[in-house]
C-alpha cells in the first residue's frame, strides 16, 4: 500500500486550505481505533474531515459521512468537549519537510489559537494529539509512556514536542546542479536508493515518478548515468520542487497506485481529496475483505464438519433402530417354541412364521427361554424409543446443515474484492452468523471495516429481451428480494434442492417473458448456486406468492409450491452476460 508522503500531504493541505478555511467544527465521531471524523461547515458547504493514524494508511482527507453506529470512544468525546463549535482557522505544517499537520482552532477567524490538533503521519508511529493554547497535551489517540519511548513520550499533561527532525539535507530550488549531482552520486549505488537516502521528503513513490519521467532505470547505478541522464533527472527534480512551492498539483491514478504530480499513463482524478479517500478506502477494504472472508470460511468449514459428523452418528443409530422389528419377531418365535429350548443353549434355530426359513436366534445361556424373549422385547422397545428421539434430532441437524450450506454457497461467490458492495455483502453474512449465534459479536470499535447500516445491493442482469433480473448475494438479500421486493407479476427462481441464490425476474403488468428469457434466468440461478460447475442444474420457478418462510426458519430458508422445472446451464452465463 502506497503511504502518504510529504508531497501528497502538501497537496492535501493546500486543497483543504483553499476550500475549507475557515470552518466551524460541528461534530466529532470516531469510527474505530484508527479513524476520527470531524464534521465541518463553511458558508458554502458541509463535509467530513477524515483523520487516520492507521499504521499503513495514515492520512487526512475529505471523506463520505461516517456510519451511524454509536461512538463509544473517549478520545473523540474529549475532542468534542474541548474543540466542539470552535472554528478551524489553520492547516499548517509544524516544520519544513515534516509529515505533521497542525489543525488550529479558535473562537473565530482572527482570534488567538486555543487548540492544536496534531496529525502525525509516520507509519506505525502515526498519531493524533490534542494540545491546548500552552501546547500541553490534553489527549492523544495513542499515548506513549516514558518506558515505551525515552526519546519522545506522549502523555496527558506533558508539553507537546515535535518528532525528532531528520538530518538529511532539505531539497531546494536554489541548489546548483553540480552540488545536487555530487550529493546523489557521492556514494555509488542504485539511483532510487541514493535519492531516498540523500534528501529529506523523497518517498519511494516520488523517486520512482521522477526516475520514470526522466526515462531512467531506478536500479541503475549512479556511476553509469551520462551527463544527459543527470540533466533530465535534474529537470524532473526541479519540476517536483516547483509544484511543491507553487502548490500546483495534478492528482491522478497510476496502474500501480496514484500520484499528485501528473505525468503520462495517468487517469485524472476529480480532486486530491477524492483520490486519497478512494485509494485508501479501497486498499483497506481489500484487507478487511480478505481477512473477513478467511474467518468466515474457516468458521463454516468447522461448523459443517462437526454437524456432518453428528448427522452421520444419528444416521448410524437410526439404521440400528431399523432392526427393532427383527428383535420382536425373534422374541415371538422364541415364545411360540418354548418347548424346544434346552438349558445352556447359546443359539436356537427356529422356522420363520412367514417364510418357513430357519432363523438363528442368539441366546444368553444363563437365562431361560422366557427371560431371553423378554430381553429381546426390551431391546425392541429401546430401539423404537431411540428412533422417536433421534429422528427429530437428525432432522434438526439436517436443517442446520442445509442452512449453513446456503451461507457457504453465498460465500463461495464472494471470492475477491472488486467494489465496496462486495465488503458490504460479506459483512452482512458475518452479521447474520452473529445473529444466529454461530459467531461472537465483533468488537466494532477495533476494526477499520465498521460499516453503516445501509442495505447492500443484489446483482443486476438483463434478459435478452430487456427484463431486469435481481440475484441475491446473501441470505439477507434473498429474503429481501423474495418477501419485500417481489411484485405480483414477477417470477421467482431457485435451484431445486441445491443451495443457491434467490433470483427474481421483474415483470411489468401485461408482459410475458418468452422462452429465451426463462432459460436465461434459469441459467443465472444455476450459475449462482453450488451447481455452478455442472453441465445442467434443475431450477424451479413459481410466482412469489407461492413462496413461504416457515415459522422460525433461518434467513434465506423457504418452502414453495406450484413450481415448474427448467434445466439451467450455468456455463452459458459467464461468457454471455455482465452483472452490474
State the alpha helices, DSSP H only, in 415-534.
Answer: 420-435, 475-480, 515-527
CATH 3.90.226.10 fits domain 177-269: no
CB 543 within 8 A of CB 562: yes
Other C-beta atoms closer than 10 Å to the C-beta of 312 total 12
From 141, 137, 151, select the one nearest 120 (Cα to Cα).
141
pLDDT given at position 519: 95
State residue 61 phi and psi, 5-degree precision: -165, 165
C-alpha span between 332 and 383 (Å, rounded):
17
Q: What would the DSSP string read from start to end of 210-272?
A: HHHHTT--TTSBGGG--HHHHHHHHHHHHHHHHHHHHT--B-EEETTEEESB--SS-EE-S-H
Name the phi and psi angles at 39, rounded to 5.
Answer: -85, 115
CA distance 406 to 528: 11
Superfamily for domain range 6-140: ibrinogen binding protein from staphylococcus aureus domain (2.30.310.10)
Q: Is the pTM of this model over 0.85?
A: no
Give the Cα separation of 390 and 75 in Å (integer). 55
**Can you tell me the distance from the alpha carbon of 77 to that of 75, in angstroms, rounded to the nearest whole number?**
5
pLDDT at 451: 47
Q: Which residues of the chain have pLDDT under 70?
A: 443-454, 574-580
CA separation for the pair 381, 387 (Å, rounded): 10
Residue 209 · residue 261 · CB < 8 Å = yes
**Total Cβ atoms within 10 A of residue 429:** 25
Contact 35, 284 (CB under 8 A): no
**Distance between CA atoms of residues 119 and 90, nearest Å:** 13
Q: State how beta strands 59-63 and 46-52 pair.
A: antiparallel
Q: Grid coordinates in use for 465?
A: 429481451
* pLDDT value of position 577: 55
Contact 523, 573 (CB under 8 A): yes
The CA distance from 71 to 105, in Å, is: 23
Q: Is 72 helix (H, G, I), strand (E, B) or coil?
A: coil
Q: By C-alpha distance, which of 253, 270, 271 is closest to 262?
A: 253
Q: What residues contact residue 87 under an 8 Å CB cut-off, 6+ apart? A: 22, 23, 24, 25, 105, 106, 107, 108, 109
Are the CB atoms for 194 and 184 separated by under 8 Å?
Answer: yes
**Distance between CA atoms of 399 and 386, rounded to whole angstroms?**
20
Q: What is the pLDDT of residue 377?
A: 87
Quote the pLDDT of residue 443: 62
CB count in 10 Å sphere of residue 325: 12
Contact 283, 57 (CB under 8 A): yes
Q: How far is CA 358 from CA 323, 337, 355, 513, 520, in A?
A: 18, 13, 9, 66, 61
Q: Tally Cβ neighbours within 10 Å of residue 577.
A: 16
Can you spell out the DSSP letters for 536-561?
-EEEEEE-GGGEE--TTPPTT--EE-
Residue 299 half-sphere exposure, CB side, CA atoms within 13 Å?
17
Amino acid at each position: 500500500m502506497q503511504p502518504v508522503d510529504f508531497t501528497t500531504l502538501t497537496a492535501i493541505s493546500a486543497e483543504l486550505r483553499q476550500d475549507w478555511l475557515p470552518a466551524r467544527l460541528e461534530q466529532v465521531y470516531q469510527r474505530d481505533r484508527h479513524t476520527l471524523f470531524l464534521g465541518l461547515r463553511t458558508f458554502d458547504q458541509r463535509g467530513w474531515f477524515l483523520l487516520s493514524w492507521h499504521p499503513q494508511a495514515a492520512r487526512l482527507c475529505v471523506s463520505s459521512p461516517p456510519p451511524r453506529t454509536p461512538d463509544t470512544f473517549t478520545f473523540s468525546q474529549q475532542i468534542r468537549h474541548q474543540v466542539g463549535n470552535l472554528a478551524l482557522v489553520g492547516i499548517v505544517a509544524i516544520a519544513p519537510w515534516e509529515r505533521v499537520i497542525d489543525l488550529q482552532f479558535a473562537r473565530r477567524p482572527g482570534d488567538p489559537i486555543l487548540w492544536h490538533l496534531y496529525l502525525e503521519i509516520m507509519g506505525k508511529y502515526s498519531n493524533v494529539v490534542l494540545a491546548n493554547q500552552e501546547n500541553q497535551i490534553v489527549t492523544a489517540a495513542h499515548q506513549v509512556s516514558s518506558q515505551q519511548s525515552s526519546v519522545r513520550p506522549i502523555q496527558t499533561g506533558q508539553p507537546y514536542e515535535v518528532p525528532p527532525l531528520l538530518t538529511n539535507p532539505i531539497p531546494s530550488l536554489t541548489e546548483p546542479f553540480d552540488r545536487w549531482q555530487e550529493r546523489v552520486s557521492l556514494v555509488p549505488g542504485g539511483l532510487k536508493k541514493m535519492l531516498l537516502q540523500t534528501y529529506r521528503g523523497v518517498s519511494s513513490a516520488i523517486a520512482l515518478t521522477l526516475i520514470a519521467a526522466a526515462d531512467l532505470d531506478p536500479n541503475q547505478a549512479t556511476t553509469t548515468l551520462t551527463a544527459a541522464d543527470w540533466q533530465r533527472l535534474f529537470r524532473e527534480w526541479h519540476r517536483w520542487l516547483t509544484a511543491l512551492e507553487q502548490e500546483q498539483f495534478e492528482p491522478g491514478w497510476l496502474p500501480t497506485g496514484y500520484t499528485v504530480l501528473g505525468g503520462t499513463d495517468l487517469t485524472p482524478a476529480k480532486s486530491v481529496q477524492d483520490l486519497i479517500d478512494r485509494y485508501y478506502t479501497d486498499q483497506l477494504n481489500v484487507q478487511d475483505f480478505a481477512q473477513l472472508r478467511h474467518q468466515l470460511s474457516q468458521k463454516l468449514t468447522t461448523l459443517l464438519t462437526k454437524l456432518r459428523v453428528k448427522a452421520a452418528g444419528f444416521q448410524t443409530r437410526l439404521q440400528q433402530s431399523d432392526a427393532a422389528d427383527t428383535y420382536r419377531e425373534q422374541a415371538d418365535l422364541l415364545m411360540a417354541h418354548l418347548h424346544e429350548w434346552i438349558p445352556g443353549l447359546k443359539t436356537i434355530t427356529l422356522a420363520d412364521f412367514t417364510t418357513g426359513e430357519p432363523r438363528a436366534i442368539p441366546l444368553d445361556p444363563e437365562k431361560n427361554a422366557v427371560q431371553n424373549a423378554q430381553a429381546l422385547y426390551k431391546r425392541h422397545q429401546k430401539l423404537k424409543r431411540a428412533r422417536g428421539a433421534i429422528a427429530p434430532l437428525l432432522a434438526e441437524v439436517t436443517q442446520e446443515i442445509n442452512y449453513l450450506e446456503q451461507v457457504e454457497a453465498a460465500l463461495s461467490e464472494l471470492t475477491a474484492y472488486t467494489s465496496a458492495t462486495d465488503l458490504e455483502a460479506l459483512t452482512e453474512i458475518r452479521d447474520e452468523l452473529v445473529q444466529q449465534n454461530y459467531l461472537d459479536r465483533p468488537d466494532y470499535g477495533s476494526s477499520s471495516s465498521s460499516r453503516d447500516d445501509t442495505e447492500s445491493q443484489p446483482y443486476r442482469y438483463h434478459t435478452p429481451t430487456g427484463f431486469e433480473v435481481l440475484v441475491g448475494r446473501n441470505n439477507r438479500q434473498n429474503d429481501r428480494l423474495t418477501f419485500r421486493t417481489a411484485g405480483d407479476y414477477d417470477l421467482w427462481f431457485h435451484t431445486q434442492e441445491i443451495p443457491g441464490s434467490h433470483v427474481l425476474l421483474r415483470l411489468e403488468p401485461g408482459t410475458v417473458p418468452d422462452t429465451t428469457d426463462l432459460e436465461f434466468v434459469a441459467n443465472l440461478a444455476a450459475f449462482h448456486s453450488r451447481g455452478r460447475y455442472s453441465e445442467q442444474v434443475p431450477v424451479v420457478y413459481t410466482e412469489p406468492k407461492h413462496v413461504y418462510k416457515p415459522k422460525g426458519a433461518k434467513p434465506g430458508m423457504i418452502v414453495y409450491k406450484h413450481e415448474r422445472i427448467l434445466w439451467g446451464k450455468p456455463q452459458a452465463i459467464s461468457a454471455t452476460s455482465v452483472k452490474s
